[in-house]
Amino acid sequence: MPMLKTQSTSLPNVNPKLIVSDQAKTNMGGCVSFYTAQLLLIFLAVSSSVVNCCPPSERAALLAFKAALHEPYLGIFNSWTGNDCCHNWYGVSCDQETHRVADINLRGESEDPIFQRAHRTGYMTGYISPAVCKLTRLSSFTLADWKGITGEIPRCISSIPFLRILDLIGNKLSGDIPPDIGRLHRLAVLNIADNNISGAIPPSIANLSSLMHLDLRNNRISGPIPGSVGRLRMMSRALLSRNQISGTIPSSISMIYRLADLDLSMNQISGMIPASLGKMAVLATLNLDFNKLSGPIPASLMNSGISNLNLSRNMLEGKIPDVFGPRSYFTAIDLAYNKLSGPIPRTLSAASYIGHLDFSHNYLCGRIPDGSPFDHLEASSFAYNKCLCGKPLRAC
């Protein structure tokens, strides 16, 4: 749409009072208010149509969204008045060119002056109105850390075609993940952690081909991880801990070659750990603790790029693979509370770094090797085993 020129130089014969002032221009961020535009149209006989910043239908959708929520302490919605939702509506911003609502960014924990003045974090009740789905150019929707918002994630959310960020962390949302969430093919961030979401992970999630960051932590999600998650080739963080997820770890996960952080801890996951996890290019953190995993620890995990490995509180058995080497660099390796037997591997002294180590509460037996990785470890790292001896435990 053609924008009206607002410089007096380009409109030499017009009464300057009818020209949008610089002050007004700044307030409107480049949009021309309908009233001023009409005056200009009359005086200049410009035949083009003029953009009003907030389309009335989007304003109506935002007001319906606001009406379903109750925010008693900060007054963040007090600014949601007047016609132009694109300017000075707290947390709302519009696309510069289309003048359609592009972002809703409402965080209950923020450095914003509105929070500092109130000396508190946010609290909000109510629910997410499906009216938000009428904002069809919405790219980012954040309604995070308000603690008291209940109800479900509106199903229609999966029909907002340009959505890139969906961040609803830290509320009390219940119900399940919309089954056709996979339609959001631009979605890069899906964060619904710290809610009360139940049901299974919908298989359509594997269709989120732009997904980079998945955070479902601390909900009541059950059922298996869909076997096709390996199709999420852009994903770098997958955080699913503290749910009731069952089934096995799909080996297709190891095809996600950008995955750096995989957290499946505190679930009901069973079966064996796929050895292919140790072959992943950039996997640095692997947390599988507090599940029902069984079988041996794959040797590949011990000399991979993984630097933060937590396999504690499972039912893993067999020996700790004796394949540590210069590639083994662990800020933390926690194998406690399993059924591991045999000796502490000799090659562990060849690891380039071991920060925190916990092999306690297993059935290990034999002499603890000497060497620099062991110098700083305490007895608690080896406590409650079958018959370990040597420094830092009692002499053999």
Ligand X SMILES: *[C@@H]1O[C@H](CO)[C@@H](O)[C@H](O)[C@H]1NC(C)=O
- The verdict on 263 binding ligand X (CB under 6 A) reads no
Shortest Cβ distance from residue 10 to ligand X (Å)? Answer: 49
Three state DSSP letters for 105-152: EEECCCCCHHHHHHCCCCCEEECCCHHHHHCCCCCEEEEECCECCCCE
Nearer Cβ to ligand X (107/313): 313
Provide the 8-state DSSP code for 282. S
Shortest Cβ distance from residue 341 to ligand X (Å)? Answer: 20
Shortest Cβ distance from residue 44 to ligand X (Å)? Answer: 49
- The verdict on 147 binding ligand X (CB under 6 A) reads no
- The verdict on 196 binding ligand X (CB under 6 A) reads yes
- Count of beta carbons in the 10 Å neighbourhood of residue 167: 21
The pair of three-digit structure tokens given for residue 287, joined into one six-digit string = 């947390």
Nearer Cβ to ligand X (217/313): 313
- The verdict on 186 binding ligand X (CB under 6 A) reads no
For residues 172-196, b (16+ Cβ closer than 10 Å) or e, as one string?
ebbbbbbeebbbbeebbbbbbbbbe
Place of tokens 């302490």: 73
Nearer Cβ to ligand X (125/349): 125
Distances in Å between the Cα of 50 and the Cα atoms of 1, 39, 42, 82, 94 are 8, 11, 12, 19, 17
Q: Which of residues 198-227 bind ligand X (CB under 6 A)?
A: 198, 203-204, 207
Nearer Cβ to ligand X (125/236): 125
Number of residues counted as binding ligand X (CB under 6 A) = 17
- The verdict on 289 binding ligand X (CB under 6 A) reads yes
Provide the 8-state DSSP code for 52. -
Identify whether the C-beta of residue 29 lies closer than 8 Å to the C-beta of residue 87.
yes
Q: Which of 65, 89, 115, 290 binds ligand X (CB under 6 A)?
A: 290
Shortest Cβ distance from residue 291 to ligand X (Å)? Answer: 9
Nearer Cβ to ligand X (129/204): 204
Identify whether the C-beta of residue 182 lies closer than 8 Å to the C-beta of residue 209.
no
Residues that bind ligand X (CB under 6 A): 172, 174, 182, 196, 198, 203-204, 207, 265, 289-290, 310, 312-313, 332, 334, 356
